[in-house]
């Protein structure tokens, strides 16, 4: 038993590893964000570390996001993938250690027919092993209990350990993918909620324009009936009324569709009390997210972390492919008791054991092992390209969001000024038309200008709000607060 224990202890020991040393690809992250007229000044930026509650301060939006995080089906699918990857890692890691099974057997054989036997019972257990038998009336019996391991591969060259490392990295990559799904979900819910607010604001603008245009139609009709205005004035007034009513119908549909999209993201119908009345009601409830000058922050984005773990897994599989060139040593070891009589099954003379080591050396495989190695190396190169592309894509997305953030406040201020000027112009134009100083064409032009300015202002407000969502998402959002283990700082423990 001491010899068997020594062999099993040797088998459980980790051996050499043929994995190439992992090094993070250099030069993948640009040293800093782009600069210029379109971007915020460097002294306005700081390294962000925020939760979505720091950015989306409206309690209604926070409630909808919380509902989505609890009930969204895409997020549940991502969490199921994490659980699957964790289970696969446990299976791969378990292969490093011997599987010890216990077996109990009873064999009864009729002496008149030595060529046949009937095994009437067998069982498995977790004890020792033995056998016993007796002869009575031409019938022989034997009993045995066995404990041992069969065809256990001693991982001398680290093949199984490399496969375990790859499974572990795949598991961590799947967990990073779940975090990326969560981050995307929060951003999509915020954007859908803001889109609903914007469409409700545009619907309010259309309703107000319809009411104003209806008054103009009544005014021009009265002047036409009084003989002091031509028919063209009435027709011109009706054009802006028809346009407002057309937009009104389209926006009623858009609001309903926005509500449906939000319900889908939230995983269940959203209560009316958690919906925004308009985009103006959200002003002041969206926090500013500073953009970090250190572009190394991209290494903590969940999608980038996922691709790096996939790169590590591909690197580990090279070690398994290299180990296939070396001998595989397997061990079968059994110990137990066997006897022809049940009463003597546990006596000292009934003990039996066997050890059967074996080694398999690949001699000729028509290049299969070399092909597997080249495939593993090519997959590693593919993972390097995917990792670099993920960082470059992340850098582009952040740069685009920063470019929009650097100019959106100026655009919003200009659109507000345009809306104010257009409103005053309509007031003056209407007064001049009532007094007969100007034709109705000037008033119609002022109405159209105001309507367009109001719609543009609502759209710009939406762009500014969604730009804050884009910065939250592209910079990693909550992932910066509760980050995964940084691949470059991982210890040897798995």
List, for residues 182-218, the tens digit of each pLDDT value: 999 999 999 999 999 999 999 999 999 999 889 888 8
Domain with 287 in it: 13-96+155-325+367-489
Helix axes 59-71, 231-266, angle to 10 degrees: 50
162 and 142 in a single domain? The answer is: no
Examine residue 442 and state whether it is found in any structural domain, yes or no: yes
Examine residue 4 and state whether it is found in any structural domain, yes or no: no
90 and 143 in a single domain? The answer is: no
77 and 198 in a single domain? The answer is: yes
Residue with tokens 């104003």: 212
- The CATH number that applies at residue 353 is 2.20.200.10
Q: What phi and psi values does residue 416 have, to the nearest 5 degrees?
A: -65, -40
Structure tokens at 126: 């977790």
140 and 286 in a single domain? The answer is: no
Quote the pLDDT of residue 202: 96
Q: Span 338-359, mean pLDDT?
A: 76
Examine residue 7 and state whether it is found in any structural domain, yes or no: no
Quote the pLDDT of residue 452: 94
92 and 111 in a single domain? The answer is: no
Element (H, E) at 407: helix 368-434
In angstroms, rounded to a whole number, what is the distance separating the alpha carbons of residues 395 and 30? 8
Tell me which residue of 231, 237, 191 sits closest to 214, measured CA to CA.
237
385 and 460 in a single domain? The answer is: yes
34 and 175 in a single domain? The answer is: yes
272 and 314 in a single domain? The answer is: yes
Quote the pLDDT of residue 289: 65
- The CATH number that applies at residue 452 is 1.20.1600.10
117 and 89 in a single domain? The answer is: no
Question: In this predicted model, which residue has the larger pLDDT, 337 or 156?
Answer: 156
Residue 15: pLDDT band with limits 50, 70, 90: low
User: b/e string for 287-305 if b means 16 or more Cβ within 10 A?
Assistant: eebbbbbebebbbebbbbb
Q: Report yes or no on whether pTM surpasses 0.85.
A: no
Q: Span 33-48, mean pLDDT?
A: 55
Structure tokens at 470: 């884009």
Label residue 363 exposed, middle or buried (CB < 10 Å: 0-12, 13-18, 19+): exposed
Q: What phi and psi values does residue 449 have, to the nearest 5 degrees?
A: -65, -45
Examine residue 8 and state whether it is found in any structural domain, yes or no: no
**312, 336, 360: which is the final residue of a domain?**
360
Examine residue 114 and state whether it is found in any structural domain, yes or no: yes
Tell me which residue of 309, 475, 396 sits closest to 30, measured CA to CA.
396
Q: Which of 89-98, 261-270, 278-287, 352-361 is the most confident on average?
A: 261-270
- List the single range of 36-50, 53-67, 285-299, 399-413 with lowest mean pLDDT: 36-50
Q: Between the CA of residue 246 and those of 211, 382, 390, what are the distances in Å?
A: 14, 52, 44
In angstroms, rounded to a whole number, what is the distance separating the alpha carbons of residues 42 and 157? 52
Q: Span 365-369, mean pLDDT?
A: 91
Torsional sign, CA 171, 310, 50, 262: negative
Cβ atoms of 477 and 183 within 8 Å: the answer is yes
Q: Express each pLDDT in 115-152 by its tens digit.
A: 444 443 333 333 344 444 444 457 787 878 888 888 88
143 and 250 in a single domain? The answer is: no
Q: In sequence order, what are the residues at sequence separation of 6 or more whose Cβ sits closer than 8 angstroms to the Cβ of residue 413?
A: none
Examine residue 2 and state whether it is found in any structural domain, yes or no: no
DSSP string, 357-406: EEEE-----TTHHHHHHHHHHHHHHHHHHHHHHHHHHHHHHHHHHHHHHH
**338, 360, 382: which is the final residue of a domain?**
360
203 and 219 in a single domain? The answer is: yes
Average pLDDT, the chain: 82
**360, 375, 406: which is the final residue of a domain?**
360
Examine residue 1 and state whether it is found in any structural domain, yes or no: no
Examine residue 3 and state whether it is found in any structural domain, yes or no: no
160 and 120 in a single domain? The answer is: no
Residue 413: pLDDT band with limits 50, 70, 90: very high
**Residue 62: is its pLDDT beyond 80?**
yes
The total domain count for the chain is 2
């Amino acid at each position: 038993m001491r010899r068997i224990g020594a062999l099993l202890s040797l088998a459980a020991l980790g051996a050499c590893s043929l994995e190439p040393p992992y090094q993070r690809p250099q030069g993948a992250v640009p040293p800093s964000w782009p600069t210029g007229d379109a971007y915020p000044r460097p002294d306005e930026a700081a390294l962000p570390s925020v939760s979505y509650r720091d950015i989306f301060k409206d309690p209604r939006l926070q409630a909808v996001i919380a509902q989505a995080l609890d009930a969204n089906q895409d997020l549940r699918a991502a969490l199921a993938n994490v659980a699957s990857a964790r289970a696969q890692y446990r299976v791969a890691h378990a292969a490093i250690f011997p599987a010890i099974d216990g077996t109990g057997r009873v064999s009864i054989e009729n002496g008149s027919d030595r060529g046949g036997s009937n095994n009437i019972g067998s069982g498995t257990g977790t004890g020792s092993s033995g056998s016993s038998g007796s002869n009575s009336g031409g019938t022989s019996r034997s009993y045995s209990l066995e404990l041992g391991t069969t065809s256990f591969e001693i991982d001398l060259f680290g093949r199984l350990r490399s496969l375990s490392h790859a499974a572990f990295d795949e598991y961590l990559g799947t967990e990073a993918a779940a975090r990326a799904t969560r981050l995307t979900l929060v951003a999509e819910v915020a954007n859908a909620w803001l889109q609903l607010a914007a469409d409700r604001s545009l619907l309010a603008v259309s309703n107000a324009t319809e009411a104003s245009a209806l008054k103009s139609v009544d005014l021009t009709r009265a002047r036409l009936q009084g003989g002091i205005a031509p028919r063209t004035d009435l027709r011109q007034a009706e054009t802006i009324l028809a346009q407002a009513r057309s937009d009104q119908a389209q926006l009623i549909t858009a609001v309903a569709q926005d509500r449906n999209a939000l319900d889908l993201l939230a995983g269940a119908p959203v209560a009316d009390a958690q919906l925004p009345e308009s985009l103006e009601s959200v002003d002041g409830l969206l926090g500013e997210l500073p953009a970090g000058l250190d572009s190394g922050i991209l290494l903590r984005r969940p999608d980038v972390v996922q691709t790096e773990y996939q790169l590590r897994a591909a690197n580990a599989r090279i070690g398994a492919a290299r180990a296939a060139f070396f001998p595989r040593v397997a061990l079968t070891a059994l110990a137990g008791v066997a006897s022809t009589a049940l009463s003597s099954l546990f006596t000292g003379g009934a003990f039996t054991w066997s050890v059967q080591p074996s080694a398999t050396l690949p001699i000729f495989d028509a290049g299969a092992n070399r092909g597997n190695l080249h495939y593993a190396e090519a997959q590693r190169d593919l993972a390097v390209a995917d990792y670099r592309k993920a960082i470059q894509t992340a850098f582009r997305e952040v740069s685009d969001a920063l470019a929009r953030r650097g100019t959106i406040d100026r655009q919003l201020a200009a659109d507000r000024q345009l809306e104010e000027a257009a409103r005053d112009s309509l007031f003056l134009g209407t007064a001049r038309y009532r007094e007969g100083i100007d034709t109705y064409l000037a008033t119609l032009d002022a109405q159209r200008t105001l309507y367009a300015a109001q719609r543009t202002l609502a759209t710009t407000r939406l762009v500014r709000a969604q730009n804050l969502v884009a910065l939250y998402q592209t910079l990693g959002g909550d992932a910066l607060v509760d980050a995964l283990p940084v691949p470059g700082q991982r210890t040897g423990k798995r």
